[in-house]
């Protein structure tokens, strides 16, 4: 099954929301990356940096795993800043 890619647009910045939520929760990026890797997702520091800075498309499976780890609703990633 092909992975679904999600791209930020001019109004909603998924990566910026990810970074804000992660920091509000007091979670280190390295801990979140480790969790994603343990879930079998192909992610490293460079890719994660690109996600937080809206330089790469995020996969739906990554968003699901991140929302689970951060204990948030996935829709929180799509809120307009």
What confidence tens digit (pLDDT) does each residue in 7-40 have? 655 567 899 999 999 999 999 999 999 999 999 9
Tokens at 7, concatenated:
């791209």
* DSSP codes, 27-70: --HHHHHHHHHHTT----HHHHHHHHTT-SPEEHHHHHHHHHHH
CATH assignment at residue 40:
1.10.260.40
- How many folded domains does the chain comprise? 1
- pTM for this prediction: 0.84
- State residue 6's pLDDT score: 60
Alpha carbon distance 78, 7 (integer Å): 11
The pLDDT of residue 64 is 95
Q: Which residues span the domain enclosing 36?
A: 5-73
Q: What is the DSSP letter of 74?
A: G
What average pLDDT does the chain have? 89
């Amino acid at each position: 099954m092909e992975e679904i890619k999600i791209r930020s647009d001019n109004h909603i910045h998924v990566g910026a929301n990810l970074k804000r939520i992660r920091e509000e929760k007091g979670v280190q990026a390295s801990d979140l990356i480790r969790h994603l890797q343990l879930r079998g997702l192909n992610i490293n520091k460079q890719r994660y940096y690109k996600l937080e800075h809206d330089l790469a498309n995020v996969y739906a499976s990554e968003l699901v795993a991140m929302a689970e780890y951060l204990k948030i609703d996935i829709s929180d990633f799509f809120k307009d800043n």
